[in-house]
Amino acid sequence: MSRVEHQWPRSSLNPKYRCMPGEFMYKGNLWPSWTSEKNIKSVEDQFVFLPTDIILSGYPKSGITFLSEITCLLHFSHGKLEYLQSAIEKVEKSQVYFRVPFIEEEWTGLFPTMTDKVQAMEYLDCLRQQQCGNQPRLIKTHLPFDSIECALNRLERNLRPRILYVYRNPKDVAVSMYNFYCGLQNYGPFEGDWDEFFEMWIDGWIGGGDWRKVVPPWLKQAEISEPTQMLAISYEQLVNDTEACVNNIHHFLLPETDLEPTVRQVILERTSFDKMRENKMTNYKDVEEFIPSFQFMRRGCVGDWKNWFSPEQNSRFMAAYKDTLEDLE
């Protein structure tokens, strides 16, 4: 039983749960105010992806910031020692959300080379016009695959961008998402307790969509895609064997070049959880939408769900996710 049951404004979309600021439904998924139906439709119907682009995708709180920092360092250094210092300078002077723009996001920021604050999609379009498609754009998204597929289907198959996809144990995602809800203005911030949020998770009433509906299509796409076009990596792999993941990502991004050992070692050091949590370019400390006490990079471990789920909740979760997880095996 929630501590604050019946004391909060109910959602007009689902009276069972509390209202989330700016919430809306699109294609059967609940979305918070960090995006908009207009932006999602713009990605689907208008945004022009380039064959040089790298899309970094994942369900919220699944490790996309970790993946982004690794990708930036590999991309800027080309895996070579001669470019390493330049790569470090680039990641040290610009926050990760400027280096890997969040395409569907409503937030406006002063992106590099821009004189006014704009949304990520507008900035990415300016890059396309300025660079004539010669320089890869790193693009973040939390959208379901069918939305990105709409954009890809407007392109010839040989002109489509490459995709890096990160996924995570949904139990750990649920815990991380609960803490995210409690710290971000776009979600309220959420004032309920874990038990209340767990009911929302089981019902799939989560900003960003039901994990069971959003993640499987991405993973199935990874299975049928050419290995040169899409690479799926689990958060557990990123944490437990970062070196192997760095090697795999490098080979995916730069198949014609070798990753020099010194570059690999520097990337491993710079992307450790402790380093990234202290790094103002990756820890989101300056983002006004977070409450002051919020820690964007909270624990970064595997299996934290065991500290949150009751035995009954674990049983209910496994029953609710049984078919989905079996289908993904």
Catalytic residues: 142
Calculate ∠ Cα 91-95-101, nearest 5°: 105
Q: Is 306 exposed, middle or buried (0-12, 13-18, 19+ CB in 10 A)?
A: exposed
The Cα 198–Cα 178 span in angstroms is 8
Do residues 33 and 106 lie in contact, with contact meaning Cβ atoms separated by under 8 Å? yes
Q: At 290, phi and psi to the nearest 5?
A: -90, 145
According to DSSP, residue 209 is labeled -
Does an H or E element contain 149, and which? Answer: helix 145-152
Q: Is 41 exposed, middle or buried (0-12, 13-18, 19+ CB in 10 A)?
A: middle
Alpha-carbon separation of residue 127 from 27, 52, 101, 197 (angstroms): 30, 12, 11, 40
Do residues 259 and 71 lie in contact, with contact meaning Cβ atoms separated by under 8 Å? no
The Cα 45–Cα 57 span in angstroms is 19
CA of residue 264 relative to chain centroid, distance: 23
Cis check for the bond before 189: say yes or no (omega within 30 of 0).
yes
Q: Phi-psi bin for 303: left (phi > 0), alpha (psi -120 to 50), beta?
A: left
